[in-house]
C-alpha cells in the first residue's frame, strides 16, 4: 500500500493467534490509558458558558451561598444584587449567583446542580426553575456537544430510566422523532420498530458512551493543558451571573452584530403583541396551555415528571441545602400538576405563571420578548421573589405559595 505516503510494511514473520491477540490487547490498554490521561487533564465539559463557569465556581473563594439554576428564563429573570438587597431589608442574608443556562434541559440542570454542590458544600439554598422532561433526544441535535456533555454515568442511568418509564406510560404517544435527512435510512426503518422508551434510552446510552470516551472534547483537553479552565471567571460570574438581554444586545452591537437571534425575537414580539396577549389570557382561562416552545422541535414530547423533580429536590436536600422550586412567569401552565407539586413535593414551590395574580410580570413593558423578562421586569421579579422567599424563611407563609396579591414588593 503506497497511498499518499504510507509505505508498505516490510515482510516479516506473521504472529500466531496468541501473538495477534496480545498485540490487540496492548493496543486496547494503550487506548484506555491515553483516554484516561486526556480525560484527567480536560476542563469541565459544556463549553465556556457552562463548564467554564463551573470551573470558575470551583476555583473562586466561598462567597455565594444561594444559586439560581434553570434555563435562559432564569438567566434573564434573577438579578442577584436586587434580590440580595431586597432580602436583606426583610432580614434574610443571602449572597446569590445566577447560574441560568440558555436552552438547559431538566436533566442537564440536575447535572449542573450536582456539580456545583459537590464543589462547594457551603451553599445554603438553590432556587430551581421548574422544567418539563423531554424523554426523547432531538435528532437534529443528537450529537451536538450540548446534548452529550452532561451524560456522566449517573445522569445517563437516570435518563435511560426515565425514558423507559415514559415509554411504558405513554406507549405509542412517545413518538419516534426522526432526523429529516435520514428518513429513508435502513437504520430509521429499524428504529421505527423499537418501542419508544427503549429507543430513547438507547440514544442516552450512546451519549453516555460518547462522554465516557471523551469523544470530541479536544478543546477541553487543550484548555486543561493550557490551564485556562479555572482562570476563566468571565463576565458572567463577575456580574453575579445576571446579564440583561438589553445589555447582551448592546454588547453584540458593539461587536458588530446588530442582527441576531435576540433582536429577531424582540422584533417578532413587538410585531405580534396581539398573539402574546391572547396567550396570556389563555393562562388564566385554561387549565393547561403551552406557549413556550418556539425554540423546540414540535415533534418532541414534553412530560411533567413529578418523580424526577421530587428526586432532584431530595438529592439537594440530602446535602443540607434548601431546595426551592420556582415556576417562572412563563406562557405555559398545567394547573393540576402545579397543585400536585405544591401539595406533595415536600419542598417550597413559588409559582408565578398566573397573570391574574401577577399582571405586571406579563406587562409588555416588563418583557423583552414573549419568553423573557426585560431588565426592568427582572428587577421587579427579583424583588417579588425576595418578598415571597423572606415570608417563607420567616415561617410566615405556606411552604408552597402562589400569593394572591401582587403588592409592590
Partner 1 sequence: MIFTEPRFLVFFLAVFAVHWALRSNGARKAWLTLTSLAFYGAWDVRFLGLMMASAGIDYVAGIGLGRTEHVGRRKALLAASVVSNLAILGFFKYYNFFVDSGALFLRWLGLEVADHTLAIVLPAGISFYTFQSLSYTIDVYRKKLAPVSGPLDFTLFIAFFPQLVAGPIVRATDFLPQLETKRRWLDVDVRAALVLFLIGFVKKGLVSDHLAPVIAPVFDAPLAWSASSTWIALALYHVQIYCDFSGYSDMAIATAALLGYQLPKNFWFPFFASGISEFWQRWHISLSTWFRDYFYFALGGSKGSSFKGMMVGSLTMMVVGLWHGAGWQYVGFGVLMSGSIIVSRTWGMLFAEGTWPRRASAFLGTPLLWWFLFWNWILFRSTSWDAGWAMQRIFFFLEDGGAQQLSPLWLLAVAGFFVVHWAFYKGWFARLRATNDWLFAAAVGSAAALALVFLAAETQAFIYFQF
Contact window for partner 1 (CB under 8 A) among 10-18, 110-118, 346-354, 370-378: 10-18
One character per residue 166-185, x = contact with partner 1 (rule: CB under 8 A): ------------------xx
One character per residue 252-271, x = contact with partner 1 (rule: CB under 8 A): ----x---------------
Minimum CB separation of residue 108 from partner 1 in Å reads: 16
At residue 49, the 3 state secondary structure works out as helix
Q: Count the residues in the chain.
A: 409
Asked whether position 143 contacts partner 1 by CB under 8 A, the answer is yes
Asked whether position 27 contacts partner 1 by CB under 8 A, the answer is yes
Contact criterion met (CB below 8 Å) for 104 and 71? yes
Asked whether position 38 contacts partner 1 by CB under 8 A, the answer is yes
Residues 37, 114, 232, 251: what is their CA dihedral angle, to the nearest 10 degrees?
140
Binding residue (CB under 8 A) for partner 1 from 35, 90, 391, 401? 35
Minimum CB separation of residue 304 from partner 1 in Å reads: 31
Taking the alpha carbons at both ends of the chain, their separation in whole angstroms is 77
Rounded (to 5) percent helix, strand, coil in the chain: 55, 10, 40
Nearer Cβ to partner 1 (115/220): 220
Asked whether position 314 contacts partner 1 by CB under 8 A, the answer is no
CA 180 to chain centre: 25
Contact criterion met (CB below 8 Å) for 177 and 136? yes
Minimum CB separation of residue 207 from partner 1 in Å reads: 11
CA–CA distance, 293 with 352 (Å, rounded to integer): 18
Residue (of 366, 352, 326) closest to 128 by Cα position: 326
Contact criterion met (CB below 8 Å) for 25 and 17? no
At residue 65, the 3 state secondary structure works out as coil
Contact criterion met (CB below 8 Å) for 347 and 324? yes
How many residues lie near partner 1 (CB under 8 A)? 44
At residue 208, the 3 state secondary structure works out as helix
Q: Grid coordinates standing for 97?
A: 449567583
Minimum CB separation of residue 240 from partner 1 in Å reads: 30
Nearer Cβ to partner 1 (179/319): 179
Q: Where are the beta strands (DSSP E) in 226-364?
A: 288-289, 322-327, 333-334, 349-351
CA–CA distance, 153 with 208 (Å, rounded to integer): 7
Asked whether position 298 contacts partner 1 by CB under 8 A, the answer is no
Nearer Cβ to partner 1 (17/404): 17
Q: Where are the beta strands (DSSP E) in 8-149?
A: 66-70, 96-100, 125-129
CA–CA distance, 97 with 57 (Å, rounded to integer): 10
Contact criterion met (CB below 8 Å) for 67 and 323? no
Asked whether position 31 contacts partner 1 by CB under 8 A, the answer is yes
Asked whether position 41 contacts partner 1 by CB under 8 A, the answer is no
Asked whether position 33 contacts partner 1 by CB under 8 A, the answer is yes
Asked whether position 24 contacts partner 1 by CB under 8 A, the answer is yes
Binding residue (CB under 8 A) for partner 1 from 29, 264, 277, 299? 29
Nearer Cβ to partner 1 (192/394): 192
Binding residue (CB under 8 A) for partner 1 from 40, 49, 144, 175? 144
Minimum CB separation of residue 144 from partner 1 in Å reads: 7
Restricting to residues 203-232, which ones interact with partner 1 according to CB under 8 A? Answer: 210, 213-218, 221
Minimum CB separation of residue 9 from partner 1 in Å reads: 4
Q: Contact positions toward partner 1, by CB under 8 A?
A: 1-10, 14-15, 19, 23-24, 26-35, 38, 143-145, 148, 184-187, 189, 210, 213-218, 221, 256
Amino acid at each position: 500500500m503506497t497511498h499518499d505516503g504510507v509505505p508498505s510494511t516490510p515482510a516479516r514473520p506473521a504472529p500466531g493467534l496468541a501473538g495477534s491477540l496480545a498485540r490487540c490487547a496492548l493496543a486496547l490498554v494503550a487506548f484506555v490509558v491515553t483516554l484516561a490521561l486526556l480525560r484527567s487533564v480536560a476542563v469541565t465539559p459544556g463549553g465556556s458558558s457552562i463548564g467554564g463557569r463551573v470551573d470558575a465556581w470551583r476555583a473562586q473563594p466561598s462567597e455565594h451561598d444561594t444559586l439560581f439554576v434553570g434555563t435562559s428564563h432564569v438567566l434573564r429573570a434573577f438579578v442577584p444584587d436586587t434580590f440580595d438587597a431586597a432580602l436583606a431589608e426583610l432580614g434574610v442574608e443571602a449572597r446569590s449567583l445566577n447560574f441560568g443556562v440558555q436552552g438547559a434541559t431538566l436533566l442537564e440542570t440536575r447535572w449542573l446542580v450536582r456539580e456545583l454542590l459537590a464543589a462547594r458544600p457551603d451553599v445554603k439554598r438553590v432556587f430551581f426553575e421548574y422544567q418539563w422532561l423531554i424523554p426523547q433526544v432531538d435528532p437534529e441535535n443528537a450529537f451536538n456537544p450540548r446534548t452529550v456533555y452532561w451524560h456522566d454515568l449517573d445522569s445517563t442511568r437516570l435518563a435511560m430510566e426515565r425514558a423507559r418509564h415514559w415509554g411504558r406510560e405513554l406507549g405509542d404517544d412517545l413518538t419516534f422523532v426522526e432526523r429529516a435527512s435520514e428518513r429513508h435510512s435502513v437504520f430509521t426503518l429499524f428504529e421505527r420498530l423499537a418501542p419508544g422508551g427503549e429507543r430513547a434510552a438507547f440514544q442516552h446510552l450512546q451519549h453516555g458512551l460518547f462522554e465516557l470516551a471523551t469523544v470530541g472534547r479536544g478543546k477541553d483537553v487543550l484548555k486543561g493543558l493550557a490551564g485556562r479552565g479555572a482562570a476563566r471567571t468571565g463576565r458572567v460570574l463577575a456580574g453575579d451571573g445576571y446579564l440583561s438581554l438589553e445589555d447582551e444586545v448592546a454588547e453584540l452591537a458593539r461587536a458588530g452584530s446588530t442582527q441576531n437571534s435576540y433582536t429577531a425575537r424582540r422584533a417578532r414580539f413587538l410585531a405580534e403583541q396581539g398573539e402574546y396577549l391572547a396567550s396570556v389570557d389563555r393562562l388564566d382561562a385554561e387549565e393547561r396551555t403551552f406557549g413556550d416552545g418556539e425554540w423546540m422541535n414540535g415533534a418532541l414530547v414534553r412530560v411533567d415528571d413529578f418523580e424526577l423533580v421530587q428526586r432532584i429536590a431530595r438529592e439537594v436536600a440530602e446535602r443540607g441545602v434548601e431546595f426551592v422550586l420556582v415556576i417562572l412567569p412563563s406562557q405555559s401552565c398545567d394547573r393540576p400538576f402545579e397543585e400536585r407539586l405544591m401539595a406533595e413535593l415536600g419542598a417550597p414551590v413559588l409559582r408565578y405563571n398566573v397573570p391574574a395574580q401577577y399582571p405586571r410580570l406579563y406587562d409588555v413593558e416588563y418583557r423583552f420578548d414573549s419568553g423573557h423578562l426585560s431588565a426592568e421586569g427582572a428587577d421587579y421579579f427579583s424583588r417579588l421573589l425576595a418578598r415571597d422567599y423572606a415570608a417563607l424563611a420567616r415561617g410566615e407563609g405556606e411552604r408552597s405559595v402562589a400569593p394572591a396579591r401582587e403588592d409592590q414588593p
